[in-house]
Amino acid sequence: MHATAASGGVGGGPETGDRFGGALAVGDFDADNTFDLVAGVPSDSVAGVQLAGAANIIHGSHEGLREDPDQLWSQATRGVLGTPGADALASGLASGSR
């Protein structure tokens, strides 16, 4: 799968200048023993706030990235601390192993 903000299953949809993929990280975020891709969208508008930022987790499989719906995380997502502000969330990403 070639993932872009316009790909089927990628939440949020494309916006001019949202910088989808401006930062990337790989890890097994859903504990299924396959790698998932996190694409930062640091200039994404969230809850009407420009440049708030978000992160798309695109799940992987043994065949590669899956086209099923991803997870879109921002400070408007339940359980994520803070509130959307012009702070470019996900402008840098990192992943570690246990």
How many other C-beta atoms can be found within 10 angstroms of the C-beta atom of residue 47?
11
Compute, in degrees rounded to 10, the torsion defined by CA atoms 27, 19, 48, 5.
-70
Tell which residue, 44, 37, 2, 1, has the closest CA to residue 20.
Answer: 44
Q: What is the mean pLDDT of the chain?
A: 85
Tens-digit pLDDT profile for residues 51-78:
999 999 999 999 999 887 788 999 999 9
Tens-digit pLDDT profile for residues 36-53:
999 999 999 999 999 999
Tell which residue, 82, 84, 8, has the closest CA to residue 41.
Answer: 84
pTM above 0.85, yes or no: no
Q: Which two tokens stand for residue 42?
A: 């640091």
Contact 40, 91 (CB under 8 A): yes
Tell which residue, 98, 22, 96, has the closest CA to residue 56.
Answer: 22
